[in-house]
Structure 1
Amino acid sequence: MDKISESPVAEADRPDAPKATGRTNRSAALIATAVALPVTLLVAALAFANLAPDTPAATPDPSPTTPQAQSTTPVEMAAPALAERPAIVCRALLSQLPTAIRELAQRPVTAGPEQNAAYGDPALTVACGGTEPEVAPDEHLVLVNSVCWYTVEGPDDTQLTTVDRETAVTVRVPHFYGEALQWVSPISRTVAESIRSATPAPSGCTS
């Protein structure tokens, strides 16, 4: 009787044979995924950081000594009609006023640029040709750079008016800027150079 030869069964086809190749492929895929995922996340994070706008630096609170954006809107001021001589005096004064008082740049005014000026935001104003105040003998007057000023404290500003010049000049300094006399000092120099002294000056104006 002839012997029937048995064909060898491939090891991979045997039910009990370990599928080494499949496990190897799956392990390699898992490792590749584990490596690729952090790289993908890193690339995405870098791309987002490049697209995101820079965080703006904190803006310091405005103060009289801190440069700040200033409004260019004209400052509302009255411009009463002046007689010939005061009008000439005021034009001379306005032509000599500085373009800035300390760090406060000059701003346009709504009326009377030949007699009015404004600086900064909030506005410090200079008005020429107004009415000189009545000053009692015991009133407190302040002499600044040879110009005598009568001061009145208001709720929002300090008003200073000359009382020793042929044409009166009034300066309003917002309380925001602190001590008013430090701001009126450069204006006083221009007033002294542009407007003649009145005679006689109030007794409290002597230095």
Structure 2
Amino acid sequence: MDRTTRTAALWATIVAVPVAVIVALVAISALPDAEPEAAPSSGAPRPVPTTPVEMAAPTLGTDETVACRALTSQLPVTLRDLPQRPVSAGPEQNVAYGEPAITVACGGDQPSFLATDLVYPLSGVCWHATETASGSTWTTVDRRVPVTVTIPKDYESPGQWTTEFSATIASTLLSREDVPTGCRS
């Protein structure tokens, strides 16, 4: 072998070996781990306090009590990744989720609002929203038994959280005959 051929072979080896090592390392890093670490599930409930959420429990008539028990029995145990929490009063009419707590209160007085106020037909239920210092309160305006959902400011898009309850409310609670104009299809 002449000197030129040997020099070329030496340079080819000097270049090829590191390139081969780099390609091997990239290929190995792209392979899945044999035993992947358990990643936390995005759907796993967040840790929340076990103390009851403070809620009022107004006295309900017989029909309201039956309707509210039917509703609360159908509400999910977990709302997205927020687990249900105990409530201080009226577990047959009140439900709470997460920390800070999103609350659902069934029964009570029909909401009053101006005819010019916006109402939101969301997923089969018509809601009236009121902004508060701590968040927003959404109340059904098309059900014989009203339902109020309170969404703390910590949660974005409160209307989207409210729709989580719409299908259950629509299938459980009877509609009123005198619904606001904005609720009619």
What TM-score comes out, normalization by structure 1 length? 0.66
Local SS of the residue matching 1:184: helix
Distance in 2 separating the partners of 1:88 and 1:184: 22
Aligned match of 2:114:
136
Summarize the Cα distance change of 1:205–1:155 in structure 2 as closer, same or farther, 3 Å threshold.
same
Local SS of the residue matching 1:197: coil
| Identity across matched positions, percent | 47
1:73 equivalent in alignment to 2:45: no
Q: Deviations over 1:124-147 (max 9, x none)?
A: 000000211123221100111110
Aligned match of 1:94:
72
8 Å CA contact retained: 2:55, 2:88: yes
* Residue 146 of structure 1, aligned match among 124, 141, 151: 124
Aligned match of 1:104:
82
Aligned match of 1:43:
none
For 1:109, the aligned partner's letter is V
Question: Rg: which structure is higher?
Answer: 1
8 Å CA contact retained: 1:145, 1:188: yes
Distance in 1 separating the partners of 2:98 and 2:161: 12
Aligned match of 1:4:
none
Local SS of the residue matching 2:58: coil
**Unaligned regions of 5+ residues in structure 1, if any?**
1-63
Distance in 2 separating the partners of 1:88 and 1:179: 31
Aligned match of 2:136:
158
**Unaligned regions of 5+ residues in structure 2, if any?**
1-41
Local SS of the residue matching 2:69: helix
Shift in Å, 1:66: 9.4
For 1:170, the aligned partner's letter is T
* Residue 163 of structure 2, aligned match among 166, 185, 194: 185
Aligned match of 2:146:
168
For 2:142, the aligned partner's letter is D
8 Å CA contact retained: 2:43, 2:80: no
Distance in 2 separating the partners of 1:77 and 1:121: 14
Aligned match of 2:175:
197
Distance in 2 separating the partners of 1:197 and 1:147: 9
